[in-house]
Structure 1
């Protein structure tokens, strides 16, 4: 599975295993915020409300199509705050 680079920007909830807000930027420079449980973003359990944010994270994605310097991706898991899973990101932001 591929991932894209993102950053955890804040702690949202103490519900187990913890919920965080994660941001990433699409090819047009628009920042998107996803809110979900720590494991969805491959974050260690030691991240918490008192951590110093932002914290680098990787967001699991499926590669759909490469278009020049951009890649169409689908999120591997649907975050709680959005029903959208398809985005276009810079190909350079993809980690294999």
Structure 2
């Protein structure tokens, strides 16, 4: 069992799902690691923006090229906090301590936006 699996067995907050999102632009390519903006829309129709370094969004081999055409689909690791909310919704927390532009890390999203 690798260390991540051992951690997962002991920690219920280990990411168990992926939230469908998309990278929309490079924010900073002058410094390494690069910084990208990733967005998704919650169940209320509010678009959330997370701006952070590429290692939080991609493995090294998956980082888009500097001249990539945006948007680029991706998945944000998330922890499902509450299922079966009214309207087929799920409450999730985004992994990696990422927060949106308002400082929130928990969101209610449509169930179809989450892959478990």
- State the TM-score, normalizing by the size of structure 2: 0.74
Q: Which runs of 4 or more aligned residues in structure 1 lie more than 6 Å from their structure 2 counterparts after TM superposition?
A: none
For structure 1, the residue ranges without an aligned partner over 5 or more in a row are none
What per-residue deviation string (whole Å, max 9, x for no partner) do you get for residues 26-66 of structure 1? 00111101001112123513x14311000001011100001
Higher helix proportion, which one?
2
Compare CA radii of gyration and give the structure with the larger one: 2
- Two-structure CA RMSD over aligned residues (Å): 1.6
C-alpha displacement of 1:84 = 1.2
Work out the number of aligned pairs and report it: 95
3-state secondary structure, aligned to 2:45: coil
Partner Cα separation in structure 1 for residue 105 and residue 65 of structure 2? 26
Find out whether 1:16 has 2:32 as its counterpart. yes
- State the TM-score, normalizing by the size of structure 1: 0.88
Higher strand proportion, which one?
1
